[in-house]
Structure 1
Amino acid sequence: MSERKVTIESRVGLHARPAALFVQTAAKAPGEVTVAKPGGKPVNAKSILAVLGMDARHGEEVVISADGEGADTLLDSLEALLSKPEPESA
C-alpha cells in the first residue's frame, strides 16, 4: 500500500466541496483508499460521511493511502486536491 502525508490547504479544511471532490476522486480507484489524521484510525476515503467525520481542518496533516493498480497516480491526484487552497468566491 502506498501512502502520502499531505497538509490540507483549503481554508474550510476537508469539508463541503473539497471533501466531495476528494471522495469522488477516491471512488474512481479500483482498490482500497483510506485517509487518516496521523496516529488516528484510517477511514474509507470513498465515503463522504467517513471523510467529513474526521473533522480535518486547514493546516492539519493527513495520511492518504491507496493500494492496487494506479495507486501512485491516484495519490498524486488526491494530494493535488488537498494541497491547493479553495478558490475565492466571486
Structure 2
Amino acid sequence: MKSITVTVIDPVGLHARPATVAVHAAGKFKSEVNISYGGREVNMKSIMGVMSLGIPTQSEITISCDGEDEDAAITAIEDVLRAQKIIG
C-alpha cells in the first residue's frame, strides 16, 4: 500500500469541481483508492463519498492506494491534483 499526506489549497476545498477532478483521476486505476480526512475514510472513486467528507481549504488529507497499479496510481493522482492546484 502507498499513501501520501497533502494539504488542500483550492480556495473552495475539495468540493464540486475539485472533487470531480480527484474522482476522475482515481477512477483510471484498478487499485483501491481511498481518501481520509477528519478520522473518516471513503473510496476516492465515489463522488458522493468524497463530497461527504466536506474537506475545506487548508485541510490535511491522506490519499492511499492498494493494488496491482498502486505506484502508478498514487503518482498520477498526486500529479493531477498538483497540476490543477487542488493540493500543495
**TM-score, structure 1 normalization:** 0.83
Listed as ranges, the gaps of 5+ residues in structure 1 are none
* Residue 12 (structure 2) pairs with residue 12 (structure 1): yes
Name the stretch that deviates more: 8-17 or 64-73.
64-73
* Residue 16 (structure 2) pairs with residue 21 (structure 1): no
State the distance in 1 between where 2:43 and 2:12 align: 20
Number of residues paired by the alignment?
Answer: 85
Q: Paired residue for 2:55?
A: 56
Amino acid paired to 2:22: F
Instruction: For residue 40 of structure 2, give the secondary structure of its aligned residue in structure 1.
Output: coil
Query: Where do 1:61-80 residues align within 5 Å?
Result: 61-80=60-79
Q: Paired residue for 1:31?
A: 31
Kept in 2: contact 1:10–1:58 (CA 8 A): yes
Amino acid paired to 2:50: V
Give, in angstroms, the shift of residue 37 of structure 1. 1.2
Measured on the aligned residues, the alpha-carbon RMSD in Å equals 1.6
State the distance in 2 between where 1:77 and 1:12 align: 22
Q: Percent identity?
A: 38
Q: Name the one with the larger strand percent.
A: 2
Kept in 2: contact 1:35–1:63 (CA 8 A): yes
Instruction: For residue 42 of structure 1, give the secondary structure of its aligned residue in structure 2.
Output: strand
Kept in 1: contact 2:25–2:80 (CA 8 A): no
Give, in angstroms, the shift of residue 85 of structure 1. 2.9
State the distance in 1 between where 2:61 and 2:7 align: 6
Listed as ranges, the gaps of 5+ residues in structure 2 are none
**TM-score, structure 2 normalization:** 0.85
Kept in 1: contact 2:23–2:44 (CA 8 A): yes
